[in-house]
Amino acid sequence: MFTKILIANRGEIACRVAATARRLGIKTVAVYSDADANARHVLACDEAVAIGGASARESYLRAERILAAAQATGAQAVHPGYGFLSENEAFARACAEAGIVFIGPPPSAIAAMGSKSAAKALMGKAGVPLVPGYHGDRQEPAFLRAEADTIGYPVLIKASAGGGGKGMRRVDRSEDFEDALASCQREAKASFGDQHVLVERYVTRPRHVEIQVFGDAHGNCVYLFERDCSVQRRHQKILEEAPAPGMSEARRAEMGAAAVAAAKAVGYVGAGTVEFIAEPTADGDLRFYFMEMNTRLQVEHPVTEAITGTDLVEWQLRVASGEPLPLRQEELAIHGHAIEARICAENPDAKFMPAIGTLAVARWPEYVAFRRNADAQSFHDPAAVRIDSGFGEGDAISPHYDSMIAKLIVWGADRAQALARLDAALAQTHIVGVQTNVAFLRRVVRSRSFAEADLDTALIEREHAALFEAPPLPLECVVGGVVAHALALERARETTDPWSRADGWRLHGVSTRRFDIEVLGRHHAVTLERLHGGALWLVVGTQRWAFATTPRGADGHEVTVDGRRWSLAVYASGEQVSVFAPEGSGVAHEVDLIAHAGDGAAEGGQLTAPMPGKVIAFLAQPGDAVKLGQPLAVMEAMKMEHTITAPRDGTVEELLYAAGDQVNEGGELLRLAAV
């Protein structure tokens, strides 16, 4: 076994690898960019080496700097995590040439599976079912469009060297093909340095089912069952579970055997994932097609660990050091059900636009580690909740890297129990300071389709009304939380001098206090009345509610409004007050009427960058008349392209940047004159 390894990654996966290494007594070396000097993964390791600027291209993608850090610190091996250089054949070869073990498959296996086109050709020869499509080398737009016309619409354009949903577009009409192709190629070039794409028939009710495989250098290879990763937005996974609902034992064995055959065909060593597109058959089973192989550990590996009682990072370290696989195929079994939710800094209501900022509050549900029983064959943990994260309170989510903040993983004896635990754990996840998808994830988990395991990659679109048009937290709950928090702060400042108390006591009559609160864009004048006997009333417009509140810890409050009781957690950050209730969350802004008295209407005609990024293209020119919702510009930020649309009808007056320019958050992109 190694005595020291370097972890060539950042965030939660770097922390995850470091934790297993520490348990095994292995020293760890972190690498970090200028933006990550104080990051959690740096603190999680025994040593740390700076490797360059904030962007990945200046740091985590600089193979020579990472190898230099490994040699300087005496690391015997490099764990690449996922993303960055984890599937880079040249980096794996460079490690070998430097006498450093690459904790992953051999370069030849990465090369064989690194191109989706080449991998599909190899699988076709091996008899693995393939989705009809074009997987060749010709890349002229007219030729690819003709191939798509032959295949029949809808088709899917996919970056050949890609992953994570980048460089991927569904196209429904021939006339839209070339614009979608150009966008895919730009995104693929920016993310992977290769704009080669393939075109396939779009399976209309696809499920994304993948098989975890593991090989060693002694010729052994096993599969650790499947994961269903069908719930996706922008072709990126947000919920993953194991095992796949509705999978028959016969089909599980068939897919597992196909995945092992694929791994053996390329001499695979280490952890890998063979991904399939599956569609339902008339008999209720699944028909499957090979999609691609990821030659690394997957983001969603914890759900496999949960149902098998294994530590896949430990397996990686043991196999890379020359040991055989810890278990044989017949020793592996499925125990219970596990689900992972990816908690991301993004705004689901703005087409999942990534968000940046500082985590003013980051509170997680109670962590209960997964564990194996003494016999190492059975797995039971009735309170299994796990958080994998590389961030904590006070940390910044920057625009330089992926938007994922954490992974929340739960295990249950069956899927129903796992669902209940996931909903409860998401309700206990409180993040303030950065927009997140936590509330959206809860709505997905509670949706009919997910609850009944009616899964496919269009689930989010199919459940649009339930996911994007859900009723907000009741106004009285949000207002009650804001007032309860304010009263708790006043109590904390009280002294024994009765004349300095802030409880509103008066010798005669009723005391009142006004709160001006904005909720969901609407201003509410709220009055708190305190009667002579101490009773409290909230008045909002024409509504008058009996009110009571009792503090519960630093941020907790028991609040009763008009006879309805809530257990709330309330956090204030500047003028923003975030209220978390068991059924959801809400945000209010306390308005200082004096401070805002001179504010006029916001300047019209501006269209600004929602976050730092690069202008890819303008889709309208000065003098063009545009309509509400019409695409005006394309920006690249956090590894993805984002389309900026017109907020209203108007005429483009002026473009304030050029394609290729970097823009800060809030930077005005163009001026739009009213009609």
Catalytic residues: 296
Helix (H) or strand (E) holding 654: strand 650-655
d(CA 208, CA 455): 9
52 three-state secondary structure: strand
Kindly give the pairing relationship between strand 353-354 and strand 346-347: antiparallel
Q: Are residues 370 and 384 in contact, defined by beta-carbon separation less than 8 angstroms? A: yes
Give whole-number Cα distances, 187 to 143, 338, 348, 441, in Å.
20, 33, 21, 26
Q: Are residues 264 and 125 in contact, defined by beta-carbon separation less than 8 angstroms? A: no
d(CA 470, CA 646): 25
Tell me how crowded residue 674 is: count the other CB atoms within 10 A of its CB: 9
d(CA 104, CA 297): 8
d(CA 481, CA 514): 15
Residues 6+ apart with CB under 8 A from 668: 606, 607, 608, 656
Which residues are 292's β-sheet partners? Answer: 275
Give whole-number Cα distances, 436 to 104, 349, 385, 458, in Å.
32, 11, 20, 21
Q: Which of 308-319 are b and which e, b meaning 16 or more Cβ less than 10 Å from the residue's Cβ?
A: bbbbbbebbbbb
Kindly give the pairing relationship between strand 47-52 and strand 27-33: parallel
Cβ-based burial of 658 (10 A; exposed 0-12, middle 13-18, buried ≥19): exposed
Give whole-number Cα distances, 511 to 30, 107, 343, in Å.
59, 75, 44
Q: Which two three-digit tokens encode residue 593? A: 């009427």
d(CA 538, CA 517): 13
Measure the N-to-C terminal CA separation of the chain; round to a whole number of Å.
Answer: 71
Kindly give the pairing relationship between strand 543-552 and strand 357-358: unpaired
Residues 6+ apart with CB under 8 A from 486: 515
Cβ-based burial of 125 (10 A; exposed 0-12, middle 13-18, buried ≥19): exposed
Q: Angle at CA 631, nearest 5°, toward 627 and 636?
A: 155
Cβ-based burial of 326 (10 A; exposed 0-12, middle 13-18, buried ≥19): middle
φ and ψ at residue 247, rounded to 5 degrees: -80, 125
**Residue of 616, 610, 607 whose CA lies nearest to 655:** 607
Residue found under tokens 């990945």:
56
